[in-house]
Amino acid sequence: MFAKTVLDNGIRIVSHEMPEHRSVSLGIWVESGSRHESDAQNGLSHFIEHLLFKGTERRSAAQIAEEMDAVGGVINAFTSKEHTCYYAKVLDENLPLAIDLLTDIFLHSMFDAEEIERERSVILQEISQSEDTPDDYVHDLFSLDFFKDHPIARPICGREKTVTSFQREDILSFFKSRYRPRRVIVSAAGNFRHDALVHEIGARLGSVKDAFDGQRTASLEGESVPEMGSGVFPHKKALEQVHLCLGVAGIHQSDPKRYVAYVLNTLLGGGMSSRLFQEIREKRGKAYSVYSFSTSYKDVGYLGVYAGTSLESTEEVVDLVAKELQKLAAGDVTDEELRRTQGQLVGSMMLGLESTDSWMSHIARNEIYFGKTVTTEEICQRIRAVSRDDVVQLGNELFRADAMTLTLLGDFSEKFQLKNLSMDN
């Protein structure tokens, strides 16, 4: 059973009662992420996410961890481009503790100066670790190349220069301006009653005021629709392999064609039976890891392909990827392939929603992007309704040689970059 209640101050509470489960997952979501930062603020949303676990007026950082560990629960958080989430998963009998812990860190974090300096060091190590993980780092580089100078392009963790510059007053000012009631969603899934949850959340968060009440409609940094680039962007780094992302403009979160995009992405590179995996890894042995990915935001998205290959095989792999895109756009899709892909999508989605934490995220994202619950029945029906012509038409719209962005990370020579790599086929 799904339910939604809006408190007087604008905080939304969405829930999915699942009485057959023994767990409850609870999340506090804020509609503010790294795309809502200026260049100088890049990384502040992520920094704040870390700091909220570093002590409140009632609890030290160690006590927060100890109280959750004592009941076998999980408490954590993540920052994305468009939102930040603080969540906990506990047995149903321990839901009061989860509510108390999450609302405590959300309302009463101290932002202690010494903790800020310690966490600054941790985040700088996190940035270094990301840059030392090339199959992740190339995605950050691709985003920068693809979205040009728009805030959505920048890395969620920030950059060494920005993270080093943040002062306590910068953090507090950003927190106060972004963590406002009308941008907050409380999402829960599991064995509980919605009315009881609303009562408990309302008692803790219902009196929170908007410090910027007169600016509720003011737009955030990064709200403009980003422009998307194209071209070849080599990034030199001493590595054994070349890591590459080849991408095109895709589908935004609420686009009616999103179900077609799900099928197209899965068919192209969404599993071991996908075209890219079979052609590039299984038949030719040119890559250990190759897959496609679809990333969607509220107003824009992209569909891309990742591969890690040898320096000598880079040009061939790019050519093979481009040929698979061309084949799809030309209508080379069988009915059997389409049915298999639809079954894969429906099955993986339903299996992924067997836990309360996945449902908690699912209903929160539905509220953020659609303002309502989208049922699994509707999603399955829409996926099954995608036709071969739908897939081919979308492939034709997206896979244009003049609109592709190719990001490369590896130890290649200047001559190799400029002479041998081309988007033309």
Distance CA 174, CA 287 (A): 43
The answer to whether residue 225 sits within a structural domain is: no
User: What is the structure's pLDDT at 214?
Assistant: 52
Q: For residue 364, give the nearest of 1, 2, 112 by alpha carbon.
A: 2
- Asked if 95 and 40 sit in the same domain, the reply is yes
DSSP state letters, 58-90: S--HHHHHHHHHTTT-EEEEEE-SS-EEEEEEE
pTM of the model: 0.94
Compute the half-sphere exposure of residue 142: CA atoms within 13 Å on the CB side of its CA: 28
Residue 204 has pLDDT above 70, yes or no: yes
Token duo for residue 238: 């001493």
Mean pLDDT of the chain: 94
pLDDT at 283 over 70: yes
> Is the distance from CB of 261 to CB of 303 less than 8 angstroms?
yes
Mean pLDDT of 170-177: 96
Lowest average pLDDT, out of 157-171, 205-219, 228-242, goes to 205-219
Question: How far, in Å, CA of 122 to CA of 132, rounded?
Answer: 15
Q: What is the pLDDT of residue 425?
A: 45
Number of separate domains in the chain: 2
Give all strands of the β-sheet with 242-249 in edge-to-edge order: 231-236, 405-410, 242-249, 301-309, 290-296
Residue 163 phi, psi dihedral angles, 5° rounding: -60, -35
Judged by average pLDDT, the poorest of 211-225, 246-260, 339-353 is 211-225
177/260 same-domain check: no
The answer to whether 163 and 43 are in contact (CB under 8 A) is yes
190 & 305 share domain: no
| pLDDT score of 415 | 57
From the number of C-beta atoms within 10 Å of its C-beta (0-12, 13-18, 19+), residue 311 rates as middle
DSSP 213: G
Q: Read off the tokens for 40.
A: 């100088």
DSSP 375-390: -HHHHHHHHHT--HHH
Query: Residue 44 sits in a domain of what CATH number?
Result: 3.30.830.10
Q: What's the rounded mean pLDDT across residues 217-238? A: 83
Verify that 72 and 112 share a domain, yes or no. Answer: yes
Helices 113-131, 134-147: axis angle to 10 degrees equals 90
Residue 220 placed within a domain: no
% of the chain surpassing 90 pLDDT:
90
- pLDDT tier for residue 419 given thresholds of 50, 70 and 90: very low
Is residue 425 one of the residues assigned to a domain?
no
* Residues 355, 403: Cα–Cα separation, whole Å: 39
Residue with tokens 């095109």: 248
216 occurs within a structural domain: no
Bridge partners of 185?
12, 29
What per-residue confidence (pLDDT) applies to 51? 98
Is there a domain that residue 222 lies in? no
Parallel, antiparallel or unpaired: strands 405-410 and 231-236: parallel
260 shares its domain with 312: yes
What is the amino acid identity at position 200?
Answer: E
The residues annotated with a catalytic role in the active site are 49
pLDDT tier, 422 (very low <50, low <70, confident <90, very high otherwise):
very low
Residue 217 lies in a domain: no
306 backbone dihedrals φ, ψ, rounded to 5°: -110, 145
Record the tokens describing residue 224, joined without a space. 């403009």
In a domain, 363, yes or no: yes
Contact 228, 145 (CB under 8 A): no
Return the minimum-mean-pLDDT range out of 22-31, 203-212, 290-299. Answer: 203-212
What average pLDDT does this structure show over 290-302? 96
pLDDT in tens, 307-353: 999 999 999 999 999 999 999 999 999 999 999 999 999 999 999 99
Both 167 and 93 in one domain: the answer is yes
Of 147, 176, 210, the residue that ends a domain is 210
Band of residue 401 on the pLDDT scale cut at 50, 70, 90: confident
Q: CB within 8 A of 413, min separation 6: which ones?
A: none
| pLDDT above 70: residue 418 | no
How many Å apart are CA 13 and CA 182, to the nearest integer?
A: 11
254 and 134 within one domain? no
pLDDT of residue 190: 98
Element (H, E) at 25: strand 23-30
Boundary of a domain, candidates 180, 210, 240: 210
Tell me: do 135 and 95 sit in the same domain.
Answer: yes
Q: Does 317 lie in the same domain as 395? A: yes
Instruction: Give alpha helix (H) positions in 109-243.
Output: 113-131, 134-147, 160-165, 168-178, 194-205
Looking at the fold, whether 97 and 67 belong to one and the same domain comes out as: yes
- Model confidence at 140: pLDDT above 80: yes
Which residue range is the domain that position 404 belongs to?
A: 231-420
Q: Residue 301 pairs with which residues in a beta bridge?
A: 296
User: Looking at the structure, do residues 277 and 414 belong to the same domain, yes or no?
Assistant: yes
pLDDT value at 61 more than 90: yes
Q: Is residue 32 part of a domain?
A: yes
**Residues 2-27 pLDDT 10s:** 999 999 999 999 999 999 999 999 99
How many residues make up the chain in this entry?
A: 425
**210, 245, 279: which is the final residue of a domain?**
210
Helices (H), 233-334: 258-269, 275-276, 314-329
Whether residues 95 and 191 fall in one domain: yes
